[in-house]
Chain A
């Protein structure tokens, strides 16, 4: 295992739990749902989302800067600043050529696209903003972080739908293990809660329709779950090889010891009914970590609160992980951050193993009788030597990280 692990030396979060690691972790541990009626969705059939509370981009980034950035990049810049401070790294003095940026994102900046499309329809093409493309293209997430911090090493955005954040962390680890760079800023960011995108999700039948009781809408593994709650935010992790981290005296919060990825090759939106793809990704991550399936003590599940995902994922966990791991889905609190979900959940899983505290699955009132796994319904103190963070995306993408304490 020692040859393939990387150290997590810094974390930054912007989530519906709050702006920052401390409020986000506190919200998740409290089990308090964040879903609420969203004024932007007042004319949509599904009117609920989980928004980042009190996100003042002008105060956090400066008014002129914030004006030229889509929300998904604003989130990432704020989370990256926290992660670098947490890692005690100084971008003024580092060798930027050895710093990579690998981030996940599902869709870039649809709010910018929708606003400029309205300009096109109302005023014609000569009024469309020259910032349309630099603001909305998904790759700008990595490009903007490079500009901000002088990170001139490998720089890319990966898009595997709701597995994007997890894919990014896995690929970032690969870059470190291949010695392509010495430090990677990784994770993901997403701001897809717009009327058009949410109309699309609703038409697919993917969203919870609990407009009358938003707080109860995201209920992973519960018998009465009816879909996910879309959320927004970002999670950034600073990764280094453990030897390098120790050499500079860095505090290591945890380690990413394995990564596995697969495709269902089954259907554009439905998961494989037996979870064959996510099973293969779990097996690959554990093989990568040189760990036994029975060694897994905790799973931060994809657990979206959709009927199909939770059933297939639970069946896979029951079948594949004989150690009876304690499973949680933090999406009960945060909602589903889409392309940022895996990044935020990787960060939360690092905190879980570091603190020895498994956050509860919010709204788990009655475990689905068809689900036979151990799901945390309260915050649970337990030492954890090996945890998994699972992600699955439309398109059949599966990605799994194996995470261990420092």
Chain B
């Protein structure tokens, strides 16, 4: 899931790949609150995952976001 998530960030949001590590925070990968809404929309469009922007904002780093996606994916 980390690789899929990373690919989404790189290909759709044009985040620089070398910034994306499990420890990287939202600020580290240069996502403001609007970009997090975009990300939420893309997760549904690309992976069929329903994760709100508020949930993504609460995740402390990329690793926590991926954990959230895996949890949500497991339920589908």
Interface on A for B, CB 8 Å cutoff? 58, 63-64, 66-68, 123, 126-127, 129-131, 134
Q: What is the CB-to-nearest-CB distance from A321 to chain B, in angstroms, rounded to a whole number? A: 51
Inter-chain contact A64/B41, CB cutoff 8 Å:
no
Inter-chain contact A64/B38, CB cutoff 8 Å:
no
Inter-chain contact A64/B34, CB cutoff 8 Å:
no
Q: Mark B9-21, 1 if CB is under 8 A from A, else 0.
A: 0000111100000
Residue of B nearest to A129 (CB): B38
Residues of B26-70 at the interface with A, using a CB-CB cut-off of 8 Å, are 30, 34-35, 37-38, 41, 44-45
**Chain A residues with CB under 8 A of B45:** 123, 127
Inter-chain contact B15/A64, CB cutoff 8 Å:
yes
**Chain B residues with CB under 8 A of A68:** 35
6 contacts between A and B (CB under 8 A): A64-B15, A64-B16, A64-B30, A127-B45, A130-B37, A130-B38
Inter-chain contact A127/B41, CB cutoff 8 Å:
yes
B: number of interface residues (CB 8 Å): 12
Known: A64-B30, A131-B34. A126 touches B14 (CB 8 A): no
Within the assembled complex, what's the spacing in Å between the Cα atoms of A58 and B34? 20
The CB with the most chain A CB atoms within 10 A, among B15, B41, B44, is that of: B41
Q: What is the CB-to-nearest-CB distance from A109 to chain B, in angstroms, rounded to a whole number? A: 15
Known: A127-B41, A127-B45. A67 touches B13 (CB 8 A): yes
Inter-chain contact B14/A64, CB cutoff 8 Å:
yes
Residue of A nearest to B41 (CB): A127
Which of B14, B16, B41, B44 touches A67 (beta carbons < 8 Å)?
A: B14
- Top 7 nearest A-B pairs (CB, nearest first) are A130-B37, A63-B14, A64-B14, A130-B34, A67-B14, A127-B41, A131-B34
Interface on B for A, CB 8 Å cutoff? 13-16, 30, 34-35, 37-38, 41, 44-45
Q: What is the CB-to-nearest-CB distance from B35 to chain A, in angstroms, rounded to a whole number? A: 8
Within the assembled complex, what's the spacing in Å between the Cα atoms of A131 and B12? 14
Beyond A64-B14, A68-B35, 5 extra complex contacts between A and B, CB < 8 Å: A126-B41, A129-B41, A130-B34, A130-B37, A134-B34
**Chain B residues with CB under 8 A of A66:** 14
Q: What is the CB-to-nearest-CB distance from B28 to chain A, in angstroms, rounded to a whole number? A: 13
Which of B14, B15, B16, B38 touches A131 (beta carbons < 8 Å)?
A: B38
Within the assembled complex, what's the spacing in Å between the Cα atoms of A123 and B44? 11
Q: What is the CB-to-nearest-CB distance from A23 to chain B, in angstroms, rounded to a whole number? A: 27
The CB with the most chain A CB atoms within 10 A, among B14, B38, B44, is that of: B14
**Chain B residues with CB under 8 A of A130:** 34, 37-38, 41
Q: What is the CB-to-nearest-CB distance from A56 to chain B, in angstroms, rounded to a whole number? A: 14
Within the assembled complex, what's the spacing in Å between the Cα atoms of A33 and B51? 52
Residue of B nearest to A131 (CB): B34
**Chain A residues with CB under 8 A of B38:** 129-131
**Chain B residues with CB under 8 A of A64:** 13-16, 30
The CB with the most chain B CB atoms within 10 A, among A66, A68, A130, A131, is that of: A130
Within the assembled complex, what's the spacing in Å between the Cα atoms of A66 and B13? 10
Within the assembled complex, what's the spacing in Å between the Cα atoms of A358 and B38? 49
**Chain A residues with CB under 8 A of B30:** 64
**Chain A residues with CB under 8 A of B16:** 64
Q: What is the CB-to-nearest-CB distance from A208 to chain B, in angstroms, rounded to a whole number? A: 37
Within the assembled complex, what's the spacing in Å between the Cα atoms of A35 and B23? 51
Q: What is the CB-to-nearest-CB distance from A147 to chain B, in angstroms, rounded to a whole number? A: 12
The CB with the most chain A CB atoms within 10 A, among B16, B30, B34, is that of: B34
Q: What is the CB-to-nearest-CB distance from A373 to chain B, in angstroms, rounded to a whole number? A: 51
**Chain B residues with CB under 8 A of A123:** 45
Q: What is the CB-to-nearest-CB distance from A57 to chain B, in angstroms, rounded to a whole number? A: 11
Residue of B nearest to A128 (CB): B41
